[in-house]
Amino acid sequence: MRPSLKENYLDQVVDFANKNEEPNWFSELRQDALNKSADLALPQYEKINYRSWRLDRPKAPFAEDENISDVTLPETDNLLVQNGGTTVVSKLSDKLADKGVIFTDIWTALKEYPDLVQKYFLNTTINVDSNKLIALNLALMNGGSFLYIPKNLKVEEAIQAIYIQNGDEKKDYNHHVLVVADEGSEVTYLENYLSNGNKETNIANIVVEVVALDNSNVHFSALDQFGSNVSTYLNRHGYVGNDARLDWAIGSMNDGHVVGDFGTELRGEGSHTEAKVVAITTSDQVQGIDTKVTNYGKHSIGHILQHGVILQSSTLTFNGVGHIVKGARGSDSQQESRVLMLSRKARGDADPILLIDENDVTAGHAASVGRVNEDQMYYLMSRGIDEKTAQRLVIRGFLSSVITEIPEKEVRDRMTAMIERKLVNGQQK
């Protein structure tokens, strides 16, 4: 009989918690999550089959970080860089620190701001009972960060984080990020996940919580670049209070298998979210992205915009789920998911789902899966542009409707560069 996760990892969880001087409440939360993970089910998504990846079978979550990666760092005073679970750069400007902004690794936050972390950690957007993978993320968490913006503070400069998964080491990547924007605050947060090396086959389990309290405004941007040997569960969920707004801009440029679970709960009256996702799949890669917005508050607005491109024999699935619950009068739920296929061996799905439990609302959806426009290709090639370059231009035009909606120029530029890299690499295979 295969040993249980508790039998395999309980002692390691306790030792790791002691090593990082975690408070008792958090260490107990970890152990409780490990116990619960045995009985909790894996999350299920329409047309996304990922069970063969064995994301629920961790291998080495608490191995030491040996290799430190060399990465090009952005020029900013507000930056956190983590190599596996090791923080190698931690900067926050004196101006923001003096105003009460907190931006640090999760271990420091647990020691120095325990009450604040405990108030929101797995306590607003999702919880440890949500599914098996969230429970395992907590139980085996080996890295993470905490960002807090105090009341009525509007942070003008972007706050950035770079999280590096060591692809040359046998180590699971279990990462947790908590972002809290207090009442009346505003912040732009940019995170970049990337792999260093590709020798080992690993799994990544990432949970990101974003809490936007009343009248706050959060601009959340993510650029994901995990390597081909990494199978990833990436859960990003947000809570939005009264007259608050949370905007997501996510570029899924991974080379390995990915299941993305992106959800937003519009809890407050007048709450608003715009969820924009761009994805490209290549080779035999599988990406499944499930983006859900639930309108709870009256007059809340939830919009989903997803565009993806598929090359070679890869698979991309977009699920868009808009749910207006009973009582959310005057709310609006809209979604658009479109997939562009560049190979007859590729497979793409765009599945819109609307769940409407209230009458006085507006809702709609659009979805399509198609191939490159031959007229556009013919026009470009008739002007002397070679086929591969013409193809990339058409694709960039297709994705631009999402990218141009992203307010931060730096994010737009970096996402465009990532798209070009992914397309060039895909055309060379």
C-alpha span between 95 and 118 (Å, rounded): 26
Closest CA to 279 of 409, 402, 413: 402
What residues are paired with 149 via a beta bridge? 181
Q: What is the pLDDT of residue 389?
A: 84
The conformation of residue 207, written as its DSSP 8-state character, comes to E
Q: What is the pLDDT of residue 69?
A: 64
CA distances from 375 to 308, 378, 379 (A): 20, 5, 6
C-alpha span between 272 and 279 (Å, rounded): 23
Q: What is the pLDDT of residue 385?
A: 87
Percent of all residues in the chain with a pLDDT value above 70, rounded to a whole number: 97
Q: Provide the pLDDT confidence category of residue 43 given band limits of 50, 70 and 90.
A: very high
Residue 219 has pLDDT above 80, yes or no: yes
Across residues 392-400, what is the average pLDDT?
83
Q: Provide the pLDDT confidence category of residue 403 given band limits of 50, 70 and 90.
A: confident
What residues are paired with 338 via a beta bridge? 307, 368
Looking at per-residue pLDDT, the higher value among 417 and 203 belongs to 203
Residue 173 has pLDDT above 60, yes or no: yes
DSSP characters for 137-193? HHHT--EEEEEEE-TT-B--S-EEEEEEEETTS---EEEEEEEEE-TT-EEEEEEEE
pTM for this model (two decimals): 0.95
Across residues 379-393, what is the average pLDDT?
82
- Over the chain, what is the mean pLDDT? 92
C-alpha span between 372 and 379 (Å, rounded): 13
Looking at per-residue pLDDT, the higher value among 387 and 50 belongs to 50
- Copy the structure tokens of residue 296: 């709870």
Burial class (CB in 10 A: 0-12, 13-18, 19+), 382: exposed
Taking CA 235 as the corner, what is the angle to CA 312 and CA 143, rounded to the nearest 5 degrees? Answer: 105
Q: Provide the pLDDT confidence category of residue 354 given band limits of 50, 70 and 90.
A: very high
Across residues 150-178, what is the average pLDDT?
94
Burial class (CB in 10 A: 0-12, 13-18, 19+), 275: buried
C-alpha span between 154 and 185 (Å, rounded): 5
Pair 269, 297: CB distance under 8 Å: yes
Q: Provide the pLDDT confidence category of residue 67 given band limits of 50, 70 and 90.
A: low
Closest CA to 145 of 228, 98, 208, 95: 208
Burial class (CB in 10 A: 0-12, 13-18, 19+), 47: middle
C-alpha span between 423 and 322 (Å, rounded): 31
Residue type, 8: N
What residue spans of 20-82 are helical by DSSP H? 24-37
Question: Distance of alpha carbon 173 from its chain centroid, rounded?
Answer: 14
Phi then psi dihedrals of residue 401, to 5 deg: -65, -25
CA distances from 347 to 180, 289, 382 (A): 38, 14, 30
Residue 88 has pLDDT above 70, yes or no: yes
Q: What is the pLDDT of residue 429?
A: 59
Q: What is the pLDDT of residue 2?
A: 58
Closest CA to 103 of 205, 187, 204, 217: 187
Pair 353, 336: CB distance under 8 Å: no
What pLDDT, in 10s, does the model give residues 3-42? 677 778 889 999 999 999 999 999 999 999 999 999 999 9
Q: Provide the pLDDT confidence category of residue 372 given band limits of 50, 70 and 90.
A: confident
Q: Which of 58-67, 171-180, 232-241, 342-351 has the lowest mean pLDDT?
A: 58-67
The conformation of residue 347, written as its DSSP 8-state character, comes to E
What pLDDT, in 10s, does the model give residues 220-230? 999 999 999 99
C-alpha span between 387 and 390 (Å, rounded): 5
